[in-house]
Structure 1
Amino acid sequence: MSRIQPTAFAALRDRRAADPASIVVARDGRRRRPLLRGDDRLFIVAADHPARGALAVGSNTTAMADRYELLDRLAVALAHPGVDGVLGTADIIDDLAALGLLDDKIVVGSMNRGGLRGARFELDDRYTAYDVATMITAGVDVAKTLMRIDLDDPATASTLESTAAAVTQAAAAKLPIMLEPFMSSRRNGKVVNDLSADAVILSIAIAAGLGASSAYTWLKLPVVPDMERVMAATTLPTLLLGGDAGPDPDEAFAAWQRALALPGVRGLTVGRTLLYPPDDDVAAAIDMAARLVHPNL
C-alpha cells in the first residue's frame, strides 16, 4: 500500500529539524482550489483524531499511533480524484504539505482539541489547535470545531462561549467554519454522544444560533435514523459524519448514500472507517465513498 518512500520521510524529519521555514513555505505555496466546484459536493478525509488522544480503531487501541503509517494511508486517500480534501490539526497539515500532498485539495483546520478523550476535563474542549487568524495566514480553507453539549457539565458553557467567538471571528474573516455538535453525557465516567434524531436536532438548534453571523457556518452531522427530520432542522450546508461503520460496513455505506440524497447535504467527512477498513484496503474503501459523494466520477 505504501506510497511514500522512506527517503521522503527522512527528508521530512530533516526539514523539521534543520529547515522549519521550508515547511511554512510548502504550506503557504500549495496550489489552492475553490471550496465548491463541479457538482458542488465535498468528500473530506478526517485525520484530527490523534490530537485529542483518540488513537483506537475498533479493538486496536493504538491503530493511529504510527504517524508514518497514518501519513501513508492519507497519501493513498488524497491520490483519489474524488477526495476533495483533508481535516486535521496543524501537525498533520504541515506534514502533508511538506510531503507535497495538498495541491488542489481543501484544507480543513481543526481548532479545539483540548478536551482529551478520557480526561476529567474532556468536555472543557478548549481551543488549543488552529485559531482563525492563523488559518487565514496559512491559507486554510475551512475551520472546524467539535462542540459537545452536556447540560450537567459546567464546562459546556465555556465551550459554547469559545465556539460562538470562533464563529464570529470566522464570519468576519469570510472563512467557512464547520460546527460538529452533539448532545453528550457521562455514563460510567465515559462521555457518550446521544445519536437519536431528537438529540441531533436539538444540537443543531443550539449550534446554528452561535456567533454574530451564520453566513459562513456549516454543520458536520452524524448519520442517524430519521435523517429527513434532522435535515429539516437547518438551512446550513451540511457534511455527513461517517463515524464508526460498526460490524457491517455495507449497511453504513447504504445509510450514507440515503442521507447524501437529502436537501442541504453537501457531502461526507469520514476518517478512521476509511483509513483503517476491516480488510485494510484503503484505496477500495476510499473509492467506494468517493463514488457515493461524486456519482459521476
Structure 2
Amino acid sequence: MTPLAPSLSALVRLRAERPEAVAEAAARRTRRRLIRHPGDRLMIIAADHPARGALAVGDRSLAMANRFELLERLCLALSRPGVDGVLASADVLDDLLLRPPPAHRGQPQRVAPLPVRGVLLGADLAADQDAAYGKWRDALRLPTVRGLVVGRSLLYPVDGDVTLAVDTAVSLLRPGRDGP
C-alpha cells in the first residue's frame, strides 16, 4: 500500500520518488453514493482557479498562487462534514489523493476531475458574505439545482475562517435540519 504524505515536504518527496503512488491511491478511493432523490444535495469545493489563471481573491491579486497554501485550505475544506468532493485540475487532484484522509472520513478523499460546470455568478463572499449566502440559498430552491460548487469564496473568506465558510455553505444544503 502506498504511504500517504502527512506533510507537504513528504508529498513532494513521494511524488518525485514514487510517481505510481498517485495511481495506487486513486484505485483505493471510495465513491460517494449517487444522487437519486430530489432532496439529495451535493457540496463540491471548486479549486480549478489556478489552472485557469484566476488567482485573485478580493483585492489580493495572487491569493491562490501559493500552491501549498491552497492544498492546506483544500484539506481543511474537505475535512468538513457534508463536503462531497473537489473540482480541480489533475495535478491538484493527484496531490490530494496522496494526503491523509480527513479525520471524520477514515478513507481516501472523494475527488474527481470535472472539466465543465455551471456557474452562479455574482456570489462573491469578498463583496458581501451574507448576500452571497442568500444567492446560494435562492439558487438551491430552484428545482433543477442539486447542490453547490463553490471555490474561492470558501477557501479564502474575508474573515479567514475556512471552517465557518464551508460549514455555512453545507448548512444551506439542509435547510431546517442543521442550518439556515
Q: Which interval holds the TM-score relative to the shorter structure?
A: 0.7 to 0.9
1:170-215 per-residue CA deviation (whole Å, 9 max, x = no partner) reads xxxxxxxxxx4xxxxxxxxxxxxxxxxxxxxxxxxxxxxxxxxxxx
Helix, strand or coil for the counterpart of 1:94? helix
The answer to whether the Cα contact below 8 Å between 1:32 and 1:104 also exists between their aligned partners in 2 is: no
Counterpart in the other structure of 1:221? 119
Matched, 1:60 2:56: no
Matched, 1:287 2:167: yes
Please report the TM-score for the alignment, with normalisation by the length of structure 1: 0.52
- Where structure 2 has 5 or more consecutive residues not aligned to the other structure, the ranges are none
Helix, strand or coil for the counterpart of 2:55? coil
Whole-angstrom distance in 2 between the partners of 1:59 and 1:223: 18
AA at the equivalent of 1:292: L
Counterpart in the other structure of 1:266? 146
Question: Shift of the alpha carbon at 1:36?
Answer: 2.2
Matched, 1:108 2:112: yes
Helix, strand or coil for the counterpart of 2:62? coil
Counterpart in the other structure of 1:98? 98
The answer to whether the Cα contact below 8 Å between 2:57 and 2:126 also exists between their aligned partners in 1 is: no
Whole-angstrom distance in 1 between the partners of 2:121 and 2:24: 38
Matched, 1:144 2:143: no
Question: Shift of the alpha carbon at 1:100?
Answer: 3.1
Instruction: Map residues 1-297 of structure 1 onto 2, 5 A cutoff.
Output: 8-36=7-35, 39-101=39-101, 103=107, 105-109=109-113, 143-145=114-116, 180=117, 220-222=118-120, 243-295=123-175, 296-297=177-178
Helix, strand or coil for the counterpart of 2:64? coil
Give the fraction of aligned pairs with identical amino acids, expressed as a percent. 48
Please report the TM-score for the alignment, with normalisation by the length of structure 2: 0.84
Q: 1:108 to 1:262 in 2, by over 3 A?
A: same
AA at the equivalent of 2:99: L
Counterpart in the other structure of 1:153? none
AA at the equivalent of 1:286: V
Whole-angstrom distance in 1 between the partners of 2:7 and 2:125: 32
Helix, strand or coil for the counterpart of 1:45? strand
- Where structure 1 has 5 or more consecutive residues not aligned to the other structure, the ranges are 1-5, 110-142, 146-179, 181-219, 225-242
Q: 1:16 to 1:105 in 2, by over 3 A?
A: closer
Helix, strand or coil for the counterpart of 2:163? helix
Higher-Rg member (1/2): 1
Question: Shift of the alpha carbon at 1:12?
Answer: 0.8
Question: Shift of the alpha carbon at 1:105?
Answer: 5.0
Aligned length: 168
Helix, strand or coil for the counterpart of 2:40? coil
Helix, strand or coil for the counterpart of 1:86? strand
Question: Shift of the alpha carbon at 1:252?
Answer: 1.1
The answer to whether the Cα contact below 8 Å between 1:35 and 1:106 also exists between their aligned partners in 2 is: no
If each structure's strand is expressed as a fraction of its own residues, which one has the higher value? 1
Helix, strand or coil for the counterpart of 1:44? strand
Whole-angstrom distance in 2 between the partners of 1:87 and 1:14: 24
Whole-angstrom distance in 1 between the partners of 2:51 and 2:119: 20
